Chain A
Amino acid sequence: MTDIAATAAPLTETTTLPARLAKGFVSRLVIIIPYLWLLFFFLIPFIIVFKISLSQTAISMPPYTPVLDFSDGISGFFAGFRELNFDNYTWLTQDALYFNAYVTSLIIAAISTILTLIVGYPIAYGMARAPATIRPTLLMLVILPFWTSFLIRVYAWIGILKPEGLLNQLLMSLHIISQPLVILNTYTAIFIGIVYSYLPFMVLPLYSSLEKMDYSLVEAAEDLGCPPIGAFWKITFPLSLPGVVAGCLLVFIPAVGEFVIPDLLGGSQTLMIGKTLWNEFFSNRDWPVSSAVAVILLLVLTIPIMFFQQAQAKAQEQGR
């Protein structure tokens, strides 16, 4: 923020001091608004969740013992403080269910991300190499599914994947299979659902990084004796890595905590952290434990990404 004010200052040297201050204020305001938004709608709710995770369940409204409660005066406040503990977190480590749910979620998300990349990359590549006149149309088609409710689209997959569903009917009428395939309520169905739902999040960043690329680089590689496939792996793919990383993060992060897809397509036996969270919250009405599950999920996702971004910034600094 100060940087912007500093760079703007030399240009406005002739203007009066109040005018300069006003200008600095406006440029700060622009940045302050999104930060305030994040503060109110992300940081404060997160602190509340964290607070709940430190308390215990109780039969009350809301269903947990109050923490940081001022109703009994300042002494009551400190008494409440003493009740704060990490019991819920210890509980999570004691029951293998939670650990398994986290690991399964991470594995499912990782596999789905790779599958989405494999499906999305050719789509993005084809779009980026298409004639410039039809690119907006193709872009529109990628975004089009968002115009229908996400829930409806996932429900539609049940109709396609179930034993007597469209896919099995088609394959059986073509005599490719004689027995209906069991896809619904398996991990395969979850992968299909995630790849389908998150494909645009993969395609868009990939497309934007591929579209920016100068095609003469590929021609130069071929000119220097590199066959097209080699040129792809040596030139196109490395140069699209920022898009690959962005797309993978956009798919991986929400996929880890995904609830709707495993619930609708994965059946009851799938163990994903989003479903565990939902069960704790709504079935067991154990808000403190489910809050602890959510806090751990956030840490599991943010810490590696923070390290990753730091490493990337460092690499970029060295590259410059």
Chain B
Amino acid sequence: MKSLGSIRRDFAPWNDPNAKPYIQFDKVTKKFGDFTAVNNLSLTIFEREFFALLGASGCGKSTLLRMLAGFEEPTAGRILLDGQDLRGIPPYKRPVNMMFQSYALFPHMTVEKNIAFGLKQEGMPGPDIEKRVAEMLKLVKLEQFAKRKPHQLSGGQRQRVALARSVAKRPKVLLLDEPLGALDKKLREETQFELMDLQQELGLTFVVVTHDQEEAMTMADRIAIMDKGEVMQVATPAEIYEAPTSRFVAHFVGNVNMFEGKVAEHTADATRITGATGAQIVVDNGGKAAAGSDIVFAIRPEKIKVSSKKPANAVNALEGEVYDVAYLGDMTVYHIKLDDGQIVRASALNASRVTEDPLTWNDRAWVSFRPDAGVVLTR
């Protein structure tokens, strides 16, 4: 893993207007009878990108993946891979491989034969197949399990066989359908990092479908948040979290506090918002919303400071009462009921072992945050 970090650090083809897109979904629609699984969706994925499709079940993310693999044909629109239109090309002729959610390992074949299956199909000579299979087994650390059948392996081992089988052919794109869904939490976390390293090592383009936001945030270069067959936002994990463009995205990823309100006025470098329940909030990034328009101010819990006294020179400070306290060890989560009735969630990192300003149930408390701590959402 010599210089993988530096590759990753500078990798951002989506910011480069001259970068050539690798996978293009061009106004793709997929209907199953009356049900629209994917609705007029356009999306661009770049070479060597680790791209995640994130959404709740039924949002169309798996359909998108299956269309790329060739198991479904789009009802309308085009899918291009490396400039080639994929319409009409059957799955067995596409230069993409898929790792199935169920792993779909062939139960009557050994680990070795499973991995060799795709290579045999492309007519690779025997000695080369052996070499490649050995290489793959080493990559996923399953050398001593070569002769086992899938049912003799643990869930984690099966997952690695499925991975080895799907990358053995060196596909242009590897599609992963909930690759870690069947693993327990600890194994899942370990495997996330293994997958990232593998992707860098092999230099492949990965498209992963997941409903687990933590998984997507950890692994992906960019995430597409999907809802009802449409893409809500495509951005890096940090942008998705810190600068969501819609209520849906803000809600879907992480925890968030939402203040419904109206833009009261724009000043030179700030925007004043009047909350629906009377709260006055000043932000410095609300320029896009017209004065008088209905907006939502969204702020993450960890960006809110809780204190027993009104903090001096805080721009935004709201008073309330401690409604609930949850001590989680590494941090404490407070639910503060503001005097206007809204409940605000705030989390504080327990950086020292003793809290200087302890707060408990029914204490009077102030919540404060900086003008740049949240985002103004117009939709």
- With a cutoff of 8 Å between Cβ atoms, the chain A residues found around residue B93 in the complex are 225
Interface segment, one of A97-105, A215-223, A287-295: A215-223
Q: Given the interface contacts A214-B102, A320-B152, does A223 sit within 8 Å of B92 by beta carbon?
A: yes
Question: Out of A216, A225, A235, which one reaches B100, CB within 8 Å?
Answer: A216
- The interface bits of chain B over 254-290 (1 if a CB of A lies within 8 angstroms of the residue's CB, else 0) are 0000000000000000000000000000000000000
Instruction: Identify which of B96, B100, B121, B165 contacts A226 (C-beta below 8 A).
Output: B121
Bound CA–CA A224/B92 (angstroms): 6
Stretch in B77-85, B104-112, B225-233, B310-318 touching the partner:
B104-112
Q: Using CB atoms, name the residue of chain A closest to B95.
A: A225
Q: How far is the CB of A277 from chain B (nearest CB, A)?
A: 41
Q: Could you list some 19 contacts between A and B, CB below 8 A?
A: A216-B100, A216-B102, A217-B107, A219-B91, A219-B100, A219-B104, A220-B100, A220-B104, A220-B106, A221-B117, A222-B91, A223-B69, A223-B91, A223-B166, A224-B97, A225-B122, A226-B92, A234-B117, A235-B106
- Chain A residues contacting B165 (CB-CB under 8 Å) are 224
User: A222 contacts B104, CB within 8 Å?
Assistant: no
Please give the distance in Å from B100's CB to the nearest CB on chain A. 5
**B-binding residues in A (CB < 8 A):** 214, 216-217, 219-228, 230, 234-235, 238-239, 319-320
Give Cα A235–Cα B121 distance, bound, in whole angstroms: 13
Closest to A319 in B: B149
User: CA separation between A220 and B302, bound complex, in Å?
Assistant: 44
B contact residues around A238 at 8 Å (CB):
108
User: Is the CB–CB distance between B108 and A239 below 8 Å?
Assistant: yes
Measured between beta carbons, the chain A residues less than 8 angstroms from B156 are none
Q: Which residues of B contact A219 (CB under 8 A)?
A: 71, 91, 98, 100, 104
Within the complex, what minimum Cβ distance (angstroms) separates A303 from chain B? 28
Bound-state CA distance A239–B93 (Å) is 24
Rounded to whole angstroms, the CA-CA distance of A225 and B166 in the bound complex is 11
Q: How many residues of B contact A (CB 8 A)?
A: 27
- For A220, what are the chain B residues with a Cβ–Cβ distance below 8 Å? 98, 100, 104-106
Contact A224 B100 (CB under 8 A): no
Interface of B toward A, CB cutoff 8 Å: 69-71, 90-93, 96-98, 100, 102, 104-108, 117-118, 121-122, 149, 151-152, 165-166, 169
Residues on B with C-beta less than 8 A from A224 are: 92, 97, 117-118, 121, 165-166, 169
Using Cβ atoms and an 8 Å threshold, which residues of chain B touch A225? 92-93, 118, 121-122, 169
A204 smallest CB distance to B (angstroms): 22
**Min distance, Cβ A226 to any Cβ of chain B, angstroms:** 5
Chain B residue nearest to A239 (CB atoms) is: B108
* B121–A230 touching, CB < 8 Å: yes
B104 touches A216 (CB 8 A): yes
Of chain B, the residue at the smallest CB distance from A238 is: B108
A226-B92, A320-B152 given; A217·B121 CB < 8 A? no
**How far, in whole Å, are A221 and B109 apart by their CA atoms in the complex?**
12
| A318 nearest CB across to chain B (Å) | 10
Excluding A220-B105, A222-B92, A225-B92, 17 further A-B contacts by CB distance (< 8 Å) are: A214-B104, A216-B100, A216-B102, A217-B104, A219-B98, A223-B69, A223-B92, A223-B166, A224-B165, A225-B93, A225-B121, A225-B169, A227-B90, A228-B92, A230-B121, A238-B108, A320-B151
A216 to B108, CA, bound (A): 15
Beta-carbon contact of B152 and A217 below 8 Å: no
Residues of A within 8 A of B108 (CB): 238-239
A219, closest chain B residue (CB)? B71
CB distance from B118 to the nearest CB of A (A): 3
The distance from the CB of B94 to the nearest CB of chain A, in whole angstroms, is 8
Q: Are A217 and B106 in contact (CB under 8 A)?
A: yes
- Expressed in whole angstroms, the minimum distance between the Cβ of B249 and any Cβ of chain A is 31
User: Once bound together, how far apart are the Cα atoms of A220 and B70, in whole Å?
Assistant: 11
Closest CB pairs A-B (n = 8): A224-B118, A225-B121, A220-B104, A216-B104, A222-B91, A222-B92, A223-B98, A226-B121
